[in-house]
Amino acid sequence: MQELTHYINGTHVKGTSGRFSDVFNPATGEVQAKCPLASPEELNAAVAAAQAAQPAWAATNPQRRARVMMEFVRLLNRDMDKLAEALSREHGKTFPDAKGDVQRGLEVVEYCIGAPQLLKGEFTDGAGPGIDIYSMRQPLGVCAGITPFNFPAMIPMWMFAPALACGNAFILKPSERDPSVPLMLAELMEEAGLPKGLLQVVNGDKVAVDAILDHEVIQSIGFVGSTPIAQYIYGRGCSNGKRVQCFGGAKNHMIVMPDADMDQAADALVGAGYGAAGERCMAISVAVPVGDETADRLIAKLVPRIEKLKVGPYTAGNDVDYGPVVTAEAKARILGLVESGIAQGAELVVDGRDFKLQGYEGGFFVGPHLFDRVTPEMDIYKQEIFGPVLSTVRAGSYEEAVKLAMDHEYGNGTAIFTRDGDAARDFASRINVGMVGINVPIPVPLAYHTFGGWKKSGFGDLNQHGPDAFKFYTRTKTVTARWPSGIKEGGEFNFRAMD
């Protein structure tokens, strides 16, 4: 049985709390490793090392910091398959999907190579007689990130890459369900030239999270996970005077207009709804066809596609469509919600409850499910299922479809499939959702734009990656300078305007 470690001050450190969490192989259900759960004292040691290392890193010019990011990109490409295999083994993703996880994180690192440009301040020459005003973007100090199980490579890089590029040190608390890849990323960052102590990986549970939230040295916290925990972290972190950004749950709607290409829409829904076994915060979990005729055509296209999905372990080849969910508890919760949908009157068109995979009976596999005639009061509509379950809510009109998405408490992502440019423009303008796709089912922005949801999907005023990341991980200092010439004048006691 492998015993994993923390990564503190450039060294793999065994846990000392005596508490561990099981790391499963989701395809077999077997425990493959033990993950140490940090005590507050272990977290304090990591913070102390980060605090000691950060001033020299902040004093390193941005171009040199960017060169570390350049080398890190090279190493990520070199070790892409190794990282993806470790990710698939612990999370259950297919191998191509795991590589995509690493790749989307890598793209944010590439964006951070532009740190010298992104960290430039502003300058006003001659703001007053002999007076110049300029601003500087300076690092916060020690920052922290609490990341989820579903993207163990991408989301840590979304956080620590811009934080480090800005001159901060970073404490990463990854999910205890799949912690190996974050440990590997910390090793690669130091191989790329990052000084020891600047990127610490502290594995843990709520004990470690609360220690992060209450630690007076930690200046900012990023979080991605469920909405209840996002609200908890945001409230407690802000009350402790920290800068906090939290991203929570989602219920992403895809509106299908009568004029849409139904084959294109069906393909998009299958990929967006069932990819990664639905364990994505940007997964499409609600299809909203406009009109019964549209709904009937869409269901007819979806059923054969869903019934042909290949479900299996990542070792079964690159033609596997999706793998297991992450834990037995996740599987039980998904199937429980499926049963609630049936009990509350939804029509189960594709029934995956009896799915079994020969040779992997102990794995956490969930067959694909498709519901039709779902209504807004049902649990399968209100709750984030985070599994391979697609619900169809029939709308009588475009306005009714838009209202469904707008009235839902979550506002992470949404999409519309149509050939009508006017409808698409209206939808993009009016919808109260943070990320919008037009004939694009999963509208995750590229690294040089920002990622973030609205309503109960996001807490805080700045998004992840893109320009917002460099704002979040720095604070602005404004300097007003005067270099008088001639004889020094006496003090002034009135607050004078700039003439």
Catalytically active residues, by annotation? 281
Which amino acid type is present at position 214? D
CB contact set of 97 (below 8 Å; sequence gap of 6+):
88, 275, 276, 322
Which amino acid type is present at position 479? V
CA distance 257 to 295: 9
CB contact set of 15 (below 8 Å; sequence gap of 6+):
5, 6, 36, 37, 38, 42, 203
Query: Which residue, 279, 377, 370, 376, is CA-closest to 330?
Result: 279
Neighbours of 297 (CB within 10 A): 18
Give the DSSP per-residue string, 241-308: T-EEEEE----EEEEE-TTS-HHHHHHHHHHHHHGGGG--TT-EEEEEEBSHHHHHHHHHHHHHHHHT
CA distance 388 to 337: 11
Residue 410 pairs in a beta bridge with 455
Q: Which two tokens stand for residue 90?
A: 């612990």
